[in-house]
Homo-oligomer: A and B are copies of this chain.
Amino acid sequence: MTTSENDLAGLSQLGRHTVQPDNPETATLEKVPSPHRGRDYVVRFTAPEFTSLCPVTGQPDFAHIVIDYIPDEWIVESKSLKLYLTSFRNHGAFHEDCSVSIATRLVEVLNPKWLRIGAYWYPRGGIPIDVFWQTGNAPEGVWIPAQDVPGYRGRG
């Protein structure tokens, strides 16, 4: 079972002119039917261009974000995911909060069999924070490679 034109009907953003959503609440995450329903495959998105604001100081924060999930009925439409991530640009949130919230939103929209997020934040005060969350153990027999993002090393 592969992706058909029908599967793409009803999408409001893919292949169209779109406006950058102002914040995560107004961003629309869209989905299409998984092309190989019944097969437990993993999809990984790597988003090194993530930025949000510090809720206390208003200063920009940056993160390298990697999302892995196993679709059930749906896969996320990738342009809408990009716009969703972009919508944090003027949004204030703490690192731990922001990272888990992105995953939560994806889980609500996709209802995947499993999902995890790794958020690798740029250092503040010399000490970067990474946040790792998953919905729980993955289903048996699924292959999920390590994200293997290099650790922060300071200098030298």
Minimum CB–CB distance from A107 to chain B (whole Å) comes to 11
Q: How far is the CA of A140 from the CA of B85 in the complex (A)?
A: 29
Cα distance A116–B144 in the bound complex, in angstroms? 11
A154 within 8 A of B: yes
The docked-state distance in angstroms from the alpha carbon of A125 to that of B61 is 11
Known: A39-B100, A42-B133, A143-B133. A150 touches B148 (CB 8 A): yes
Contact check, A42 vs B146: say whether CB atoms are below 8 A apart.
no
On chain B, the residues within 8 Å of A63 by CB distance are 155
CB distance from A153 to the nearest CB of B (A): 4
Q: What 0/1 pattern do residues 131 to 155 of A give for CB contact below 8 A with B?
A: 1111011001111111111111111
Closest chain B CB from A100 CB (angstroms): 4
Give a binary string over A115-130; 1 marks a CB under 8 Å from any B CB, 0 the rest. Answer: 0101011111111111
Q: Which of A15, A20, A43 has the most CB of B within 10 A?
A: A43
Cβ of A96: which chain B residues have Cβ within 8 Å of it? 3, 34-36, 41, 43, 71, 75
A-B CB contact pairs (8 Å), 27 listed: A3-B97, A8-B56, A34-B96, A35-B100, A36-B96, A36-B101, A42-B132, A43-B131, A44-B132, A46-B128, A46-B151, A47-B126, A47-B127, A49-B122, A49-B126, A60-B86, A60-B89, A64-B155, A66-B151, A79-B125, A123-B123, A124-B126, A132-B144, A132-B145, A145-B148, A149-B156, A152-B155
